Structure 1
């Protein structure tokens, strides 16, 4: 009997852990997954479209989504600063699209603070159906492509390089200044000792 009592506690603990693993292991479904897009994933559109729209669940207010577009030649397609309509539709002006397969990448922050990034492709082809400006984007004053967006360079350096190089340079300059001051003080003290 005593042996069974000793086994009950570990068995109960193991059962609780299994329940937690099963319940805790289910994926969390984000409320802000991409619901619709113009042009959408796998869509075929006519050349000349100059606005893209991505529809999500509710987005976090005060955050600016990021959208980038790459043409079939691998060159970036200029995109204006994205704007949010109705707390869920992200609109951005783009340079009129040319024929080929384009890749659109985006990064958004959902209302619960979860950041999501993804990408999809669509085809721009002659003879395909033209894409009208999405209704949610029509009332917005969209920044022209290449204007009002975030620059990819800071003082001629790539954004990432600059964000690392500038603080490191600051630390080196300040550290060098402290070293010079200490060296100068040390020399003054040594000179005073010699005079005594």
Structure 2
């Protein structure tokens, strides 16, 4: 009887190991990894770098990746609207980079629809070689980096800022009208009550 129990336990253990090997050893194809980048993670580039490119296995068609750059002093580096070339290469124009360590953060959607966000750093140094624009990005019409110019008011989009100002004006005028009516109602009428 004891031998039968040991045999059952051994068979159950072997069955569990077999299931783990069968399903646990299958690589996850759901995610796309960064295959190449210009500038590459940890690279040293010159301040004249004007285009960045990220290469992935495959990206979901019709999605727009998001790229942000942060300089060593913590200020944002302006990036143009990213363009996807060949279904796997993201290209974007950037304003001239300042010296120091720059952080590039990207959000992409893999072919299976999974959204991923990651970041890496590279160094911008005087005297370093400026990388050539990647071949996949050459010939593309890349939009100039948005510097948040005349369309922005106090850091908000023009339409949003105007809506906020209009709502504030309505609140201020309405408050003034209500306050004046309340003050009129609180004034004495001039009649005195007779006291007996």
Contact 1:48–1:98 (8 Å) recurs in 2: no
What is the CA–CA distance in structure 2 between the aligned matches of 1:111 and 1:153, rounded to whole Å?
33
Counterpart of 2:14 in structure 1 is 15
What do residues 112-162 of structure 1 show as CA deviations (whole Å, max 9, x unaligned)? 3333321111111110102222221122222221279xx996736xxxxxx
SS in 1 for 2:41: coil
- The answer to whether residue 46 in structure 2 is matched with residue 46 in structure 1 is yes
Question: CA shift at 1:3, angstroms?
Answer: 4.4
Q: Which TM-score applies when normalising by structure 1?
A: 0.67
Could you report, residue by residue, the CA deviation over 1:67-90 in whole angstroms, capped at 9, with x for unpaired residues? 111001011111122110011100
Q: Distance in 1 between matches of 2:104 and 2:115?
A: 17
Deviation at 1:92, TM superposition (A): 0.9
Instruction: Give unmatched runs, 5+ long, in structure 1.
Output: 157-196
Q: TM-score, normalising length from structure 2?
A: 0.67
CA distance in 2, matches of 1:76, 1:87: 27
Say which is worse superposed, 31-40 or 84-93, in terms of deviation.
Answer: 31-40
- Say whether residues 1:136 and 2:136 are aligned partners: yes
Farther off after superposition, 82-91 or 129-138:
129-138
Bigger radius of gyration: 2
Q: Hey, what does 1:76 align to over in structure 2?
A: 76
1:116 is matched with which residue?
A: 116
Aligned to 2:55: 55
* 1:25-36 map, 5 Å: 25-26=24-25, 28-30=27-29, 32-36=32-36
Pairwise CA RMSD of aligned residues?
2.7
Q: How many Å separate the matches in 2 of 1:138 and 1:98? A: 23
Q: What corresponds to 1:167 in structure 2?
A: none
